[in-house]
Amino acid sequence: AQVAFAHLDFGQPFCSVAMRRALGCLVGLVGGQDVCFASGMSPEKPFPSLTQCYRHNEEACCKSGHDHLVNEALTSVLAPACLKEYPALEDLYCSLCSKDSTYSRSSTTPLKGPHMKLQNNVVYIVLCNSFLDSLWGASLDSFTNVFDNCGLQLPENKSDPDSERRVFVPSAVDSTGEPSIPNVDDFLERISAIFPPLVRHDGAAVQVQIVRSGADSVSDVEGCLSGCSIFGLSFVGLMMMLRV
């Protein structure tokens, strides 16, 4: 009986595209490159392409699965007709897909990147005032009407992400006569509680806290997530910035 042997061309790398990419990432990590908080790998061009966080398709810290979680999280807060109304909010939800959402492999606790850190199983995302201005469109210590045209579907109890959701119209007053979302810090607290679980540490998803630059909890983080361009603002936000 004859045995047929498959012909192997040893002049070519004998591994699949997936294997070559995995080996390339392994070499990169060993070489000291930065590691993404979300993927645990070096930033790379995503394939398949990201559909929600598409602005990061040249180089990203997310995979298609992360992108799907971001889309689910956004669609739980905004009605489908409003998903593209607030570019700054979309940028915030996609911030962990940024190629800059990394830490140095040589780092010890806390793991720190340009605008975030991981400490005590909490990921802190630090926002510059310029970013918050584009997101909020009003004094950060006051209410905004930027989201009033769509409303935000948020948990009734901001400290309990599993509490029943209702539609918040941020500038509408409640039974006490106060705006339902009185300032940007209240808003960030509510969003943090329901932020998509993209980062895992020690085998479990970690909590997210989104904070202003300069907060005591992130005094050791040198940078912050900066604002989008004026062309990235919603029409309502643009009108508020131009209002005299």
Q: What is the pLDDT of residue 12?
A: 34
Using CA atoms of 115, 66, 88, 55 in order, give the dihedral in degrees to the nearest 10. 100
Q: What is the pLDDT of residue 32?
A: 52
What distance in Å separates the CA atoms of residue 19 and residue 29, rounded to the nearest whole number?
15
Q: pLDDT tens for residues 37-48?
A: 999 999 999 999
How does residue 226 score in pLDDT terms, banded at 50, 70 and 90? confident
State pTM to two decimals.
0.78
Token reading at 33: 């490159």
Cis bond before residue 43 (omega within 30° of 0) = no
Mean pLDDT of 172-201: 91
Can you tell me which residue has the tokens 């699949």? 16
Mean pLDDT of 60-78: 96
Percent of the chain whose predicted confidence (pLDDT) is above 90: 58
Q: What is the pLDDT of residue 107?
A: 66
Q: What is the pLDDT of residue 125?
A: 95
Cβ neighbours for 129, distance < 8 A, ≥ 6 positions apart: 140, 212, 213
What distance in Å separates the CA atoms of residue 104 and residue 129, rounded to the nearest whole number?
25
Please indicate whether residue 83 or residue 3 has the higher confidence score (pLDDT): 83
